[in-house]
Amino acid sequence: MKIGIIGAMREEIIPLLEIFGKYEEISLGGNIFYCVSYKDSEIYIAYSKIGKVHSALTASSMILYFKCEKIIFSGVAGGLRQDLKVGDLMIATKLCQHDVDISAFGHPLGFIPESKIYIQSDPKLNEIAKSVAKRYEFDLKEGIIASGDQFINNAEKKQWLIEKFNADAVEMEGASVAVVCDLLQVPFCIFRSISDSADGQADVSFDEFLDSSARISANFVKNMVDTLLQQDNL
The Cα angle at residue 143 between residues 219 and 193, in degrees rounded to 5: 30
Q: Does 171 bind ligand 4EH (CB under 6 A)?
A: yes
Specify whether the CB–CB gap between 6 and 62 falls below 8 A. yes
Does residue 100 belong to the site contacting ligand 4EH (CB under 6 A)? no
What residues are labeled active site?
Answer: 12, 196
The yes or no reply on residue 3 touching ligand 4EH (CB under 6 A) is no
Those residues whose C-beta lies under 8 Å from the C-beta of residue 137, and which sit 6 or more positions away, are none
Stretch that binds ligand 4EH, among 20-28, 70-78, 120-128, 133-141 (CB under 6 A): 70-78
Cα end-to-end span (Å), the chain = 13
- For ligand 4EH (CB under 6 A), the number of binding residues is 18
What is the distance between the alpha carbons of residues 1 and 12, in angstroms, rounded to a whole number? 23
Q: Is residue 168 within the footprint of ligand 4EH (CB under 6 A)?
A: no
Using CA atoms, how far apart are residues 155 and 161, in angstroms rounded to an integer?
Answer: 10
128 or 218: CB nearest ligand 4EH: 218
Residue 78 touching ligand 4EH (CB under 6 A): yes
Binders in 32-51 for ligand 4EH, by CB under 6 A: 50
Cα–Cα dist 87/62, whole Å: 28
Q: Smaller CB distance to ligand 4EH: residue 86 or 228?
A: 86
- Give the 3-state secondary structure of residue 184: coil
Instruction: Summarize as ranges the residues that interact with ligand 4EH (CB under 6 A).
Output: 8-9, 50, 76-78, 151-153, 170-173, 195-196, 198, 202, 206
